[in-house]
Amino acid sequence: MGAPKWMGIGIGIFILAALWVFSLFICILLAGAGRKMRLLSLGIFIFSSFISLLLIYFPKQDSTSLTPSSSMELTDKLFIWRWTLLSISLLCLLLICTFCVRVELTETTLAQPRRGF
């Protein structure tokens, strides 16, 4: 008996979709917050990326499908697609980190005159 499916699609895809919708919703909510809270959205994005890559690279397998056979050769047909997904995720992470450094950490802060002198 295989994993539960809905319309031929495994439940993991729906978990990933819900994770990304939730994380994007939180990032949009934090966009209007203060400076330190906005940096939290970067952490949420990194966490979502980590969980997604973890679920993709270590999928749940049925114990019945792992019967050893001397004539069976194991191949990974999704190797190129997994590395493509990893490279796109790392590129997005690099762009987001660059944007955060450019916008948040290089903001001009003008000195206020001290009133005590």
Task: Tell me, yes or no, whether 100 lies in a domain.
Answer: yes
Query: What is the pLDDT, as a whole number, of residue 6?
Result: 65
Question: Which parts of 1-117 are beta strand (E)?
Answer: 5-6, 9-10
pLDDT at 56 over 60: yes
Range of the domain at 40: 9-59+83-105
Report pTM: 0.48
Output b/e per residue, 95-111; b: 16+ Cβ within 10 A.
ebeeeeeeeeeeeeeee
Task: Tell me, yes or no, whether 78 lies in a domain.
Answer: no
CA torsion 1-11-53-22 (nearest 10°) is: -160
pLDDT band at 67 (very low <50, low <70, confident <90, very high): low
Task: Tell me, yes or no, whether 23 lies in a domain.
Answer: yes
